[in-house]
Amino acid sequence: MPPSPPAPTEAEPLGARIRRLRKARGLTQRELAEPRYDRGFLAKVESGDRAPSDEVLDHLARRLGLTADELRFGRPPGAAEELTEALETAYRKLQQGGLETAEREFAQVERRAAAYRLPDVQCHARFYLGEVQWQRYDIPSAAKGFAHALELSEAASPRLSAMIVNRVAACRALSGDLGASVALVETALAGLRAAGPVDPDAELALLTALIHPLIEMGALRRARRAAEEGRRTLASAHRKDISARYHRQAAQLWQAIGLADRAEKDLSRALRLFTSIGYDRDAARSRWARGFLWRRLGKLDDAHAELRLARDLLAEAGSQEGVLGATIELADVRRRQGALDEAEELAEGIRPLLDRSPDIEARAEVLRLLGLVARARGDLPAATALLEEAAAAQESAELRGALVATSLHLGDTLRERGLPGEAMEAYRRGVRAAALSDSGPPD
């Protein structure tokens, strides 16, 4: 077997590349050039004195056992498949807590894909670099990363393009712009369906992206329509990760409309699928969602155990976003169990993380939680201030379902303080939010 050819340098001229590959295969200039061209012509190409036409490149590439693009860009055979596999391997590392290692490998693939002129692979690498920032709970940097990937999305598969839109929309929702989040996804979904035969994985990823923001806006009928459409699409989907994310997100809708058994089944499916592909972070997030469900059902001991486990697993996976969400739910469980000091300590412990994030939804949840702790202790003025701050944040972000619940708590607190007029205004605020939504009962 002949020795492997030396690797090309990043700035290797095309003529030098042809010469290197020719020599590596033991060919003379005449042997490579003939029968269509002569040795002198090839000598000029290799020296850079003559730029080869597309026809010349096609001939030389065939003689060298390559495609024209492999020759033109110094791309080894199978480079796209190799780099894509490297991305998937690195993403599993990211899911399992190897944040820094995964980030380095994503960046390396992105550089190689750019050098090889593989914009689809380059787009994929950029998407995963955005995922690194998402896992760090650096939402502004994640949004920039996903927008960077979006620049190359025309070269990407429909599935990858849909996942990028999914994440861009999630960043907008977390930043308090639920309407823009929904509009972005609905536009992408309409475009996908109008383009011809629909990729089921892409369609499912977009339908999944609609569910959470619609729930938070109180648009439960629209959210249910998206979930039911997703259920029909699920039968044709191929990617386990996309199917699992649908199951986890649909469960949120089922529990919001009182279908707890259906929610629990979907969460169990999500957990099994994520575990089967080694997605530890997403499996732990499914446990977090199950703890949330059990808390809503009043199964506080079960919820406590599941949320503690989820938080520990998410910490091992390096998911600050997941740790934050699981901690909020865990703190609320402890509040309901009467452990007010622990609930407050858990909530206060994550406030520094929230202070450097645009996540209005989570910030408002923590404020409401601290307000309810203060109310349970009998500190009604502090409870009023915290609940009012939470309600203002939810109102500005159109988090109508959450605002209904917060307004009820605020009204009850004001009534306990002997302020019936202000209590009535708080209740009216909740009624107005409910009138703009089709929200279920407050939590």
Task: Tell me, yes or no, whether 82 and 149 share the same domain.
Answer: yes
60 and 90 co-located in one domain? no
Q: Which domain holds residue 205?
A: 180-278
Same domain for 184 and 268: yes
Q: Tell me: pLDDT of 27 over 60.
A: yes
pLDDT exceeds cutoff 90 at 368: yes
Q: In this structure, are 197 and 217 located in the same domain? A: yes
Q: Identify the domain boundary among 278, 300, 327.
A: 278
For residues 86 and 69, membership in a common domain is answered with: no
| Other Cβ atoms closer than 10 A to 259 | 16
Q: How far is CA 218 from CA 209, 280, 346, in A?
A: 15, 31, 28
Q: What is the pLDDT of residues 401-439, one digit of tens each?
A: 899 999 999 999 999 999 999 999 999 999 999 888 764
Instruction: Check whether residue 70 and residue 84 sit in a common domain.
Output: no
Q: Residue 35 — pLDDT band, cuts 50, 70, 90?
A: confident
Spell out the residues 6+ positions from residue 212 whose beta carbon is closer than 8 angstroms to its own.
170, 173, 249, 252
Taking only the tens place, the pLDDT of each residue in 79-91 is 899 999 999 999 9
Classify residue 165: in a domain, yes or no. no
Q: Indicate the pTM of the whole model.
A: 0.83
Assign residue 231 the CATH number of its domain.
1.25.40.10
Give a yes or no: residue 48 inside a domain. Answer: yes
| 231 and 266 both lie in a single domain | yes
pLDDT at 354: 84
User: Are 134 and 195 within one domain?
Assistant: no
* Average predicted confidence (pLDDT) for the chain: 91
Residue 438: predicted pLDDT = 62
**Are 189 and 257 within one domain?**
yes
Are 33 and 67 contained in the same domain?
Answer: yes
- For 370-394, how does the pLDDT look when each residue is reduced to its tens digit (9 = 90+)? 999 999 999 999 999 999 999 999 9
Highest mean pLDDT, choosing among 15-24, 52-61, 332-341: 332-341
Say what the pLDDT of residue 440 is. Answer: 44
Q: Domain for residue 187, yes or no?
A: yes
**Domain count within the chain:** 3
pLDDT digits (tens, 9 = 90+) for 273-329: 999 999 999 999 999 999 999 999 999 999 999 999 999 999 999 898 899 999 999
Angle at 410 between CA 420 and CA 435, to 5 degrees: 95
Measured CA to CA, the distance from residue 363 to residue 394 in angstroms comes to 9
Residue 413 lies in a domain: no
- Looking at the structure, tell me whether residues 120 and 198 fall in a common domain: no
Inside any domain, residue 203: yes
pLDDT of amino acid 141: 95
3-state secondary structure the chain: CCCCCCCCCCCCCHHHHHHHHHHHCCCCHHHHHCCCCCHHHHHHHHHCCCCCCHHHHHHHHHHHCCCHHHHHHCCCCCHHHHHHHHHHHHHHHHHCCCHHHHHHHHHHHHHHHHHCCCHHHHHHHHHHHHHHHHHCCCHHHHHHHHHHHHCCHHHCCHHHHHHHHHHHHHHHHHCCCHHHHHHHHHHHHHHHHHCCCCCHHHHHHHHHHHHHHHHHCCCHHHHHHHHHHHHHHHCCCCCHHHHHHHHHHHHHHHHHCCCHHHHHHHHHHHHHHHHHCCCHHHHHHHHHHHHHHHHHCCCHHHHHHHHHHHHHHHHHCCCHHHHHHHHHHHHHHHHHCCCHHHHHHHHHHHHHHHHCCCCHHHHHHHHHHHHHHHHHCCCHHHHHHHHHHHHHHHHHCCCHHHHHHHHHHHHHHHHHCCCHHHHHHHHHHHHHHHHCCCCCCCC
Q: Which amino acid makes up residue 292?
A: F
Do the domain assignments include residue 240? yes
pLDDT at 334 over 80: yes
CATH number at residue 104: 1.25.40
Last residue of a domain, one of 259, 278, 297: 278
Q: Is the pLDDT of residue 21 over 90?
A: no
- CA 416 – CA 82 distance, rounded (Å): 66
Assign residue 34 the CATH number of its domain: 1.10.260.40
CB contact at 8 A, 439 and 258: no
* Residue 340 forms part of a structural domain: no
Q: Are residues 28 and 47 in the same domain?
A: yes
In a domain, 225, yes or no: yes
The residue among 278, 305, 332 that closes a domain is 278
The average pLDDT across 177-190 equals 96
